[in-house]
């Protein structure tokens, strides 16, 4: 399941409020922050040595999953468009749990699906969307499996 989620994110497409939005490193300033994701080449001193992504004050990397070579190299905070249209970040761990991407066997997948159907959540789980510091919730993201 991890590969399917990664394929959708790597394509740079976010689904919000029934519409698809392209999410990349540079976005229109009229959409609000972030207007771009700093790169290590730009001299951002807060970049982890082993990552191509900048780091916030909490030492979490942030950026577009489309810039990662694999799901394992995705930033801690992944760039998305919230259901309210704001650009922000979801925690990779929260997104993986909500979308079922962290499930690696059939038994856990069946349990996860049964719990999801029993809860009435249907095809998506809502995940908090944060500012780049990962502290302030600015919206929600519909995580789909």
pLDDT at 62: 95
* Residue spans of the chain under pLDDT 70: 1-51, 120-123, 145
* Structural domain spans, the chain: 2-108+121-144
Are the C-beta atoms of 34 and 89 separated by less than 8 Å?
no
Answering whether pTM is above 0.95, one says no
Are the C-beta atoms of 35 and 87 separated by less than 8 Å?
no
pLDDT at 100: 80
pLDDT at 50: 62
Q: What is the pLDDT of residues 68-96, one digit of tens each?
A: 988 889 999 999 999 999 999 999 999 98
């Amino acid at each position: 399941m991890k590969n399917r989620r990664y394929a959708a994110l790597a394509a740079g497409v976010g689904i919000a409020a029934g519409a698809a939005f392209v999410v990349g490193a540079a976005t229109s300033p009229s959409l609000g922050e972030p207007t771009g994701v700093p790169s290590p080449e730009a001299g951002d001193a807060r970049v982890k040595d082993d990552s191509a992504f900048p780091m916030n004050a909490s030492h979490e990397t942030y950026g577009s999953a489309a810039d990662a070579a694999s799901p394992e190299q995705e930033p801690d905070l992944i760039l998305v468009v919230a259901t309210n249209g704001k650009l922000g970040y979801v925690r990779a761990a929260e997104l993986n749990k909500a979308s079922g991407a962290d499930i690696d066997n059939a038994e856990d997948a069946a349990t996860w699906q049964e719990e999801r159907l029993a809860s009435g959540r249907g095809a998506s789980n809502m995940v908090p969307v944060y500012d780049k510091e990962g502290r302030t919730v600015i919206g929600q993201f519909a995580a789909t499996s």
